[in-house]
Amino acid sequence: MSEYRIGYGEDLHRLVEGRDCILAGIKIPSEKGLLGHSDGDVVLHAVSDALLGALALGDIGELFPPTDPSIKGIDSKIILQKAHSLIKENGYRIVNLDVCVTCEKPKILPHREEMKQSLSSLLNLEMNRISLKGKTNEGVDAIGKGEAIRTTCVVLLQKD
């Protein structure tokens, strides 16, 4: 394979009452939380899918099927660690990550540095290689009405 590979990941989870709002491995204060078979961490899912996508290794739904009762409530840090270990086993390392989180609530900016620190420590990656942006959807569609959070991620990998 070539020396550089680019990957893209995208995910969306519904916001509901009675669930925690966990983003990039951090519990964020929020009236609503993320629904999912896992802990619903939409950021770690998008990053994991970007890592897998860069090396054409499938997606997290194949690695961790949402129909598997044994992984109900799984910590998404385990999903990210699996995806990261697969790219390392294939001889690649992360050059940089660019993550975009879109929601009306909670506000991302007050938690951005903590979320970046979490990604930095989970991926053993310097902070200056991690970008994390928060956007709103200007009140449009389900995200704009506060019913869901979407995250997209682009990653560049380099062969060791």
* Beta carbon of residue 11, minimum distance to Mg ion (angstroms, whole number): 4
* Beta carbon of residue 80, minimum distance to Mg ion (angstroms, whole number): 12
49 binds Mg ion (CB under 5 A): no
117-123 CB contacts, 8 Å cutoff, 24+ apart: 118/24, 118/25, 118/26, 119/24, 119/25, 119/43, 119/47, 122/25, 122/44, 122/77, 122/80, 122/81, 122/84, 123/80, 123/84, 123/94, 123/97
Binder among 7, 33, 39, 45 for Mg ion (CB under 5 A): 45
* Residues 74-113 within binding reach of Mg ion (CB under 5 A): none
**Of residues 47 and 123, the one with the C-beta less far from Mg ion:** 47
41 binds Mg ion (CB under 5 A): no
11 binds Mg ion (CB under 5 A): yes
Site of interaction with Mg ion (CB under 5 A)? 11, 45
